[in-house]
Structure 1
Amino acid sequence: MKVAVLGATGVVGRTFVKLLENHPWFKVEKLVASERSAGKRYGEIVEDSPEEFKDYTIIGLKEFLEDPGVDLVFNALPASISKEVEEKLAQEIPVFTNARSHRYDEDVPILVPEVNSDHLKLVEVQRKRRKWRGFIVTNPNCSTAILTVSLAPLRAFGIKKVRVATMQAISGAGFSGLSAYAIHDNVIPFINGEEWKIENESRKILGKFTGDKVEPAEIEVAAIATRVPVLHGHTEAVFVELEKFDIEEIREAFENFDPLRSLELPSYEKPIVYTEIPQPRLHRDRGKGLTVTVGRLQEISGGIKYVVLGHNLVRGAAGGSILNAELAYKLGII
């Protein structure tokens, strides 16, 4: 399939491009960015570009929208401009997006393939309701993606409440999101909008598809989001109240969780690996960035606590979106 990457020169866009190099199903035909980059070679803007894409001429967004000419779009544009762009493209083309613009629409799934693959059924609802040939599938906020992968094996134990404190890498703020002066020798215990996203997106992802929408899970979720001086890799301290629990059974549930294994998706990696002390520098690149690391599992009153770590640009952004598209392709939705 011919694909385009929108926002290809940004932090997430560059990750899309790297992960799509030599992809067996998706062939990158167009790299799209702002008008100031249009007409330049991708290698001029992105010095560490994969060799395959160095000589690609960057296309401006306006020109691309006039004649997309592709079968599928990956979107890494800012949320501020994504809503209209995605809706225009989705009239004819499937859009897999990292932007938040449509995450909370009733007929648009927030997809984490290992957690809620059945939510892809919303695509047919969306197409009928909006009279589109294409569709929009979103992936969640980066911290939410990492968290929900770790929560999925716990559903069998009856999740009642989730409390999470995140320690998020600076790459989650983009190239210009934080100054070196602000983050050096510092922890910033506030990220605008992040806590609301974690609390609400998690409930939608863990919710039940009812035939024409998703009923959010009746779980209490509370989050505190912090930014820490780590380049890549979000670490989260998680406290979960459960209806029933046995610490050894839960450890086995983490280690055995692997719902996509039989599908033979090109980007497949084991979703969870248990390591007693997860650390970004040591473990963020596991499974090419798609594997999350769980550790520090302990019993507490009414439940458990643990630490989970994942690569924010791969599992939490571009890699998750590519995995979404692979699942949709495998299931015949595209």
Structure 2
Amino acid sequence: MIDVGVLGATGAVGQRFVQLLAEHPWFHLKTLTASERSAGKRYRDVVNWRLDCPFPENVGDITVSPTTPEGLSGVDLVFSALPAEIAGEVETKCAKAGIGVCSNASSHRMEPHIPLVITEVNPDHLGLIDVQRDKGTDGFIVTNPNCSTIMLVMSLSPLARFGFSDVKVATMQAISGAGFQGIPAMGIFDNVVPYIGAEEQKMETESLKIMGTLDGDHVRPAPFRVSASCNRVPVIDGHTMAVWADVKEPVEKVKSAFRDYVPPIKDLPTQPDHSLLYLDENDRPQPRLDRMRGNGMTVSVGRLREGLRYVAMGHNTIRGAAGASVLNAELIYSKKYL
């Protein structure tokens, strides 16, 4: 068992990390960090548990530590659910202290020597861990993408064999993506908000790094263009997106590619039976009906039409956040980087 910790364990994504790690077969959840006002108290006494599953009692008595490398003594790996504005410095200090970091924050995603990984898409990019160590860092940082980027790239992965140069995507993103206090009820009820700060830029740049080619100490971006338009909608969990790609192959051939998709990595504990699932019904996927497929780790695709057009959907705080980091950590462990 590997001793692990969660940075920022009381927030929305932090709670998902705790839920996914509480009974993990490979990782022992030893340390939880939060703000200074919570440090020194039991986790059960400081967390306002908001998830749609029972509180994991076996971690309730963990004493919350401060979010510093000193507060992480004895752990080999941490999962970062910190806000981007503080994650960069804290994660760098952890890596320099010899701790592995699997980060959900955006701070380091586009740095040349830090891998931006979706386990089923670009596992070879973990080779950048060796680059970090060659530069004198005892630990490492591995990032997972923005939640909407994950759904998009997972859906594009089976299409890579056909080739495309232009992708357009319009998202309908759940309110949980903004955190527990992110959007006032009067701002989202009976409404659609056609702007999510920095979301479009993340989708347009991160996708190219993930689907790019590892070239020594950096990644050459993929040779296509993404144009994104991101919207917040009154759905609790589950990001839905309409995608257009200039794939010229017949619809039935593309449908077979979705159905027959086999990821390059299989059989990790958090990985679902179907990382990508094609649904034939005309009105699917839907967040309420499909977001918990594969325990929230499956990306569902449907409504494939000439053009090429389709709809993709996945659970944003599981597949799109904490679950993606945990899956990356399982890959890192299986590749003996820990």
Report the secondary structure of 1:4's partner residue.
strand
Residue 110 of structure 1 pairs with residue 113 of structure 2: no
Distance 1:260 1:19, change over 3 A: farther
Shift of 1:66: 5.0
Residue 165 of structure 1 pairs with residue 170 of structure 2: yes
Aligned residues of 2:65 and 2:72 also touching (Cα < 8 A): no
Write the distance in 2 (CA, Å) between the matches of 1:81 and 1:206. 28
Question: Which of residues 302, 305, 320 is equivalent to 1:298?
Answer: 305
Shift of 1:67: 5.0
Question: Which of residues 287, 293, 305 is equivalent to 1:286?
Answer: 293
Write the distance in 1 (CA, Å) between the matches of 2:242 and 2:72. 46
TM-superposition CA deviations, 1:266-299 (whole Å, max 9, x none): 1111211111311000000110111011000001
Shift of 1:227: 0.2
Residue 330 of structure 1 pairs with residue 334 of structure 2: yes
Write the distance in 1 (CA, Å) between the matches of 2:145 and 2:57. 30
* Residue in 2 that maps onto 1:11: 12
TM-superposition CA deviations, 1:58-100 (whole Å, max 9, x none): 11224x5355320101000111111111111101011000001
Report the secondary structure of 1:18's partner residue.
helix
* Residue in 2 that maps onto 1:233: 238
Instruction: Give the unaligned 5+ runs of structure 1.
Output: none
Shift of 1:39: 2.3
Write the distance in 2 (CA, Å) between the matches of 1:194 and 1:138. 16
Write the distance in 2 (CA, Å) between the matches of 1:228 and 1:66. 38
Residue 69 of structure 1 pairs with residue 74 of structure 2: yes
The TM-score with structure 2 as length reference comes to 0.94
Shift of 1:27: 0.4
Aligned residues of 1:260 and 1:268 also touching (Cα < 8 A): no
* Residue in 1 that maps onto 2:27: 26
* Residue in 1 that maps onto 2:252: 248
Aligned residues of 2:5 and 2:72 also touching (Cα < 8 A): no
Report the secondary structure of 2:150's partner residue.
helix
Instruction: Give the unaligned 5+ runs of structure 2.
Output: none
Report the secondary structure of 1:316's partner residue.
helix
Question: Which of residues 304, 307, 315 is equivalent to 2:319?
Answer: 315
* Residue in 2 that maps onto 1:84: 89
Q: Could you say what the CA RMSD is over the residues aligned between the two structures, in angstroms?
A: 1.2
Aligned residues of 1:271 and 1:291 also touching (Cα < 8 A): yes
Write the distance in 1 (CA, Å) between the matches of 2:179 and 2:60. 22
Shift of 1:148: 0.4
157-166 or 52-61, which moves further after superposition?
52-61
Q: How much identity, in percent, do the aligned residues show?
A: 53
Write the distance in 1 (CA, Å) between the matches of 2:72 and 2:66. 11
Write the distance in 2 (CA, Å) between the matches of 1:88 and 1:65. 10
* Residue in 2 that maps onto 1:46: 48
Shift of 1:41: 1.9
Count of aligned pairs between the two proteins:
327
Q: Tell me which amino acid in the other structure corresponds to 2:305.
A: Q
Write the distance in 2 (CA, Å) between the matches of 1:256 and 1:67. 43
Question: Which of residues 104, 119, 122 is equivalent to 2:125?
Answer: 119
Shift of 1:257: 1.4
Q: Tell me which amino acid in the other structure corresponds to 1:190.
A: Y
Report the secondary structure of 2:41's partner residue.
coil
Question: Which of residues 139, 144, 147 is equivalent to 1:142?
Answer: 147
The TM-score with structure 1 as length reference comes to 0.95
Shift of 1:253: 1.1
Write the distance in 2 (CA, Å) between the matches of 1:225 and 1:324. 26
Matches within 5 A, 1:204-283: 204-242=209-247, 244-260=248-264, 263-269=266-272, 270-275=274-279, 276=281, 277-283=284-290
Aligned residues of 1:138 and 1:321 also touching (Cα < 8 A): yes
TM-superposition CA deviations, 1:136-178 (whole Å, max 9, x none): 0000000001110000000001021100000000000011111
* Residue in 2 that maps onto 1:57: 63
Over 6 Å off, 4+ runs: none
